[in-house]
Amino acid sequence: MLANLLIVLPIFALILTGWVARRSGALGPNATREVNRVVVYLALPALLFDIMAKADPAQIWQPGFILAFGAGCLVVFAGTVLLRKWQGTALADAAIDGLNAGYANTGFIGFPLIAAVIGQDALGVTLVATIITACVLFAIAIVLIEVSTMEAARPSQIVFQTVLKLVKNPLLIAPVLGLVFMAGHLPMPHALDTYLKLMGGAASPCALIALGLFLAENAGRAPKAGKPMQMMLVLLKLVSQPLVTWIVAVPLLHLPLPMASAAVILAALPTGTGPFMLAEFYGREALLTGRVVLISTVLSIVTLSACLALF
């Protein structure tokens, strides 16, 4: 448990940094949105392009792992979206809640945790999990949010306007360009590689600082959906997603123990900052998302320790 605490401690430190900066007045009331825009328009696209451009096709083609981890993500995401729609929630908010329940923090926590408990050989599947989470699941959520903003329009207009917005969205363009770069086996110029490392490296710290800024601004407020929904999303993330992943990985696919272990542990990670960035960027209910990110990260110290003990 202490090892898990040491891995997530920098996350809490960055959130606290944002919180203190806002409460002390070091950063003003517009800081949350502006820092978040830096992430959405600059840092995260650079990171997504870098991930895809440098991916080794032989390394990422792991059908069993993709099926197990992808099933855990998509089943929980789709189930949450359908549940929230049935409860009368707008499609955009339902999509963000789907991410709250299915978007694992593979990038910030996954790599050091998997390297520590399984070894360097498992970092390839950790990259696969990051691509599924940060590229595929993220893209699906963005499509649903964009469609939701035009629900009253004609079907043909919805399709046209949605496609137009998607091709302008840097969070979707970047990984597609990276995929083209990878498929074409294009060499990465040193200057571009350095730029991507510097810009992409700012994504996670800035997103966590933005979360701290937001929580400081909204201290004392309660999410509109209420605490029961907040805890349900946390439980879906920390319990349901790894359980679905385990069912697919072990009883159904009989994956080798190291691969099955990696899939379940990665699925058991807390909610990443991606849902919060989208909620804030699109002006949706970000307070619920911010609380889910924070609470799931705290509770994951216990649930991850239990998961590691089982394997």
Rounded-to-integer distance, Cα 205 and Cα 199, Å: 11
CA-nearest of 309, 209, 205 to 265 is 309
Q: Are 294 and 211 in contact (CB under 8 A)?
A: yes
| Other beta carbons less than 10 A from residue 306's beta carbon | 11
pLDDT tens digits for 3-40?
A: 666 766 787 788 889 989 988 888 888 888 888 888 87
Residue type, position 301, single letter: I
Cα–chain-centroid distance for residue 218?
22
Residue type, position 229, single letter: M
| Other beta carbons less than 10 A from residue 243's beta carbon | 15
Instruction: Report which DSSP code applies to 224.
Output: T
Rounded-to-integer distance, Cα 127 and Cα 143, Å: 23
Instruction: List alpha helices for 61-137, DSSP H.
Output: 63-86, 91-102, 111-117, 123-131
CATH number for the domain that contains residue 76: 1.20.1530.20
pTM for the complete prediction? Answer: 0.82
pLDDT tens digits for 66-102?
A: 999 999 999 999 999 999 999 988 899 999 999 999 9
Count of residues in the chain: 311
CA-nearest of 47, 27, 41 to 198 is 47
CA-nearest of 180, 84, 195, 189 to 141 is 84
CB neighbour class for 20 (10 Å; exposed up to 12, middle 13-18, buried from 19):
middle
Q: Domain count for the chain, please give it.
A: 1
Domain residues for the domain of 75 are 2-310
What pLDDT tens digit does each residue of the chain (311 aa) get? 666 667 667 877 888 899 899 888 888 888 888 888 888 788 888 888 888 788 777 777 889 999 999 999 999 999 999 999 999 888 999 999 999 999 998 877 787 778 777 776 777 788 888 888 887 888 889 888 888 876 655 565 656 666 666 666 777 788 888 888 888 888 888 999 999 999 988 887 888 888 888 888 776 666 666 778 889 999 999 999 999 999 999 999 999 988 999 999 999 998 988 888 888 878 887 888 888 988 888 888 888 888 877 76
Q: What 3-state DSSP class applies to 118?
A: coil
Strand partners, 104: 271
